[in-house]
Structure 1
Amino acid sequence: MTDAPVPRSQGRRSVLVVGEALVDLVPAEGEAGVRVAQPGGAPANVAVGLARLGGRPSFVGGLGDDAFGDTVGRWLTGAGVDLSLSTRPALPTALAVADPGARGNTYRFHLGDTATFALPDRTAEAGRFGAVYVGGLAAVVEPAAAVVAAVAREAARSGLLAVDPNVRDDRTLDPVRCRERLRELCALARIVKASDEDLVRLWPDASPEASCRELAERGRLVVMTRGARGATAYVHGAPAVSVPARPVRVVNTIGAGDAFMAGMLAWLGAEADWCTELTAERAEAMLEYASGAAASVCAQAGTEPSAPLGV
């Protein structure tokens, strides 16, 4: 990693992923009260997922100068993620303590004064990529949030911006300001992927379906995920298209939404040349592929998807 960008040509399947790479402390299988360190962070998960699915992701983030940062860096590069636009400040890695439950995963965060949110400003790089993805905690935690907003504005102006508004609650976060920032990013985006729970939290006065239709009416490709109940795509001027979740024996749900996002982006880059005005048939194909990627994560420990079979 260097502080200066490394010039190189970008193909149409390239994606600039901007955000956090941190360490999740997740429950150890069969050992109550024991936590295991696992590389994570929604944007980092998306970058690794894209690499595993044949995309060309470049990651913009800050990696800690500690052992956790070493682990995260090896994980990203081992998957094939380009880190030439990332930096490694002399700060520790942020931690997210995961608590999986019947209604999904909750987290408690240790974020302050970490390398994870000391993002370098790569706004000038946005136009060199097929698409730019932003989301996760970096979208709402300073100083990263200002960088994410600047890159998002440039991507919306010069290319294609994809946003996944992961809404997180933590005592260190201002819920009102967080939701304002995420709504602003969704307004800039051409692609929005959000869970039904995130949509309710962002627009509490409307149903998730109504919020999706409103976003899509402004020319966006919008996908709502509902966990085990499947996913729905909304395109301007066309009926919504839904697919069921792939049946799978669930081992883990951490990172499933990020795998879905990676699947969407991998499919759009490879099969649609980033066209977001999809026919019903193509929208269904995209959802099937993304659902397969998410199912591959749910069926195993870890957050790395594999290419769906039979899609």
Structure 2
Amino acid sequence: MSGPDQGREDAVLVMGEALTDLVPEENGTLRPQPGGAPANVAAQLARLGVRTAFAGTLGEDDFGRRNERRLRGFGVELDLCGRSGRPTALAVADPSEEGTRYHFHLRDTATFELPDVVGRLRDFSAVYVGGLAAVVPPAADVVLATARAAARHSMLAVDPNVRTDRTLDPESSLRRLRELCALAHVVKVSDEDARLLWPGDAPEVPCRKLAAEGRLVLLTRGARGSSAFLPGDVHVSVPAVPVTVTSTIGAGDAFMAAVLAVLVRGGALRGGGPAAMTAAQAREALEYAASVAADVLGRA
């Protein structure tokens, strides 16, 4: 697979949705919380000291302003963001012992009117895409075009972050997400994602296949830890960091951001790219990502 162009500052462009999670409180109310997997990744990347730009569209309602304050507060660059008078998309969280599921309110929102940033991709050595924007029109076509261009000029990282909802076409959504994974240099999937994307196979099977084609593939298993798969049938695993879980929201996004931060800081965007990491380097990245995710799990 081709890698990123040389000679640029190691900055990351994150494309996708900044929406609002409505999170149930013990008193029965719903607490609005800025969210969206790509926005979470952007915020966490900037928090970890990586120069990060976000390419989403922010609504001009109160939820949109909250999202903007949050991203700016972490130091995320918003010059490439679109603006819209439509409202911000909502995701009503439904937490359980098995994790958090969502019920979405997505149609006719600002959130999925993504800007065209293909002409700016050469300014970034890494591009992240994923989340709902990868499957919700009209954003999905913009994400795919961006990913195709990024795969040629940058390091493309994809987290399919599979969501199911009455408003989403499962066949089309899974097809789009599989195509993005095939374009990527770095793929991060949960075990649940893998079972939905490649039914009938154990999660490790598609991870090994993707890695054999020249990718770094990350597989998260919640409390059972995580694994990295590399070309040459190399794989390493680390346990999860013990933590008293307060909320699972955003933990997978924090894990993804931490791995990207390691790749940026360690110079893995140069030379042979992420797939050229050694097993020892991959283990260190997993351990760091597990610690960052644990910090998120322990906070509301």
TM superposition score category, shorter chain reference: over 0.9
Partner letter of residue 9 of structure 2?
G
- After superposition, residues 195-206 of structure 1 pair within 5 angstroms as 195-206=190-201
Partner letter of residue 88 of structure 1?
R
* CA offsets 1:260-287 (integer angstroms, 9 cap, x no match): 0000000110013323111111000000
Pairing partner for 1:26 from 20, 23, 26: 23
Instruction: Write the distance in 2 (CA, Å) between the matches of 1:243 and 1:124.
Output: 39
Pairing partner for 2:153 from 155, 158, 178: 158
Aligned to 1:46: 41
Instruction: Write the distance in 1 (CA, Å) between the matches of 2:113 and 2:262.
Output: 31
- After superposition, residues 179-258 of structure 1 pair within 5 angstroms as 179-258=174-253
Question: Which SS does the other structure have where 1:100 is aligned?
Answer: strand
- The range that moved more, 119-128 or 184-193, is 119-128
Aligned to 1:5: none
Cα drift, residue 34 of structure 1: 1.3
Instruction: Write the distance in 1 (CA, Å) between the matches of 2:183 and 2:155.
Output: 10
Aligned to 1:306: none
Partner letter of residue 289 of structure 1?
Y
Q: Is the 8 A contact 1:127 1:154 kept in 2?
A: no
Instruction: Write the distance in 2 (CA, Å) between the matches of 1:173 and 1:238.
Output: 35
Instruction: Write the distance in 2 (CA, Å) between the matches of 1:174 and 1:10.
Output: 39
* CA offsets 1:132-191 (integer angstroms, 9 cap, x no match): 000000000011001100100000011210000011111110000000000000000000
Partner letter of residue 264 of structure 2?
G
Instruction: Write the distance in 2 (CA, Å) between the matches of 1:231 and 1:102.
Output: 19
Question: Which SS does the other structure have where 2:127 is aligned?
Answer: strand
Aligned to 2:107: 112
Aligned to 2:298: 299
Instruction: Write the distance in 2 (CA, Å) between the matches of 1:207 and 1:238.
Output: 16
TM-score of the superposition, structure 2-length normalised?
0.95
Cα drift, residue 11 of structure 1: 1.8
Aligned to 1:290: 289
Partner letter of residue 198 of structure 1?
D
Pairing partner for 1:147 from 142, 147, 152: 142
Instruction: Write the distance in 2 (CA, Å) between the matches of 1:142 and 1:126.
Output: 22
Aligned to 1:130: 125
Aligned to 1:175: 170
Instruction: Write the distance in 2 (CA, Å) between the matches of 1:129 and 1:113.
Output: 30
Question: Which SS does the other structure have where 1:240 is aligned?
Answer: strand
Instruction: Write the distance in 2 (CA, Å) between the matches of 1:127 and 1:238.
Output: 32
Cα drift, residue 225 of structure 1: 0.1
Cα drift, residue 238 of structure 1: 4.1
Instruction: Write the distance in 2 (CA, Å) between the matches of 1:27 and 1:141.
Output: 25
Unaligned runs of 5+ in 2: 1-6
Instruction: Write the distance in 2 (CA, Å) between the matches of 1:261 and 1:178.
Output: 21
Instruction: Write the distance in 1 (CA, Å) between the matches of 2:189 and 2:112.
Output: 22
TM-score of the superposition, structure 1-length normalised?
0.92
Instruction: Write the distance in 1 (CA, Å) between the matches of 2:180 and 2:122.
Output: 17
Partner letter of residue 11 of structure 1?
E
* Identity fraction in percent: 59
- After superposition, residues 55-70 of structure 1 pair within 5 angstroms as 55-70=50-65
Instruction: Write the distance in 2 (CA, Å) between the matches of 1:273 and 1:175.
Output: 34
RMSD: 1.1
| Count of residue pairs brought into register by the alignment | 290
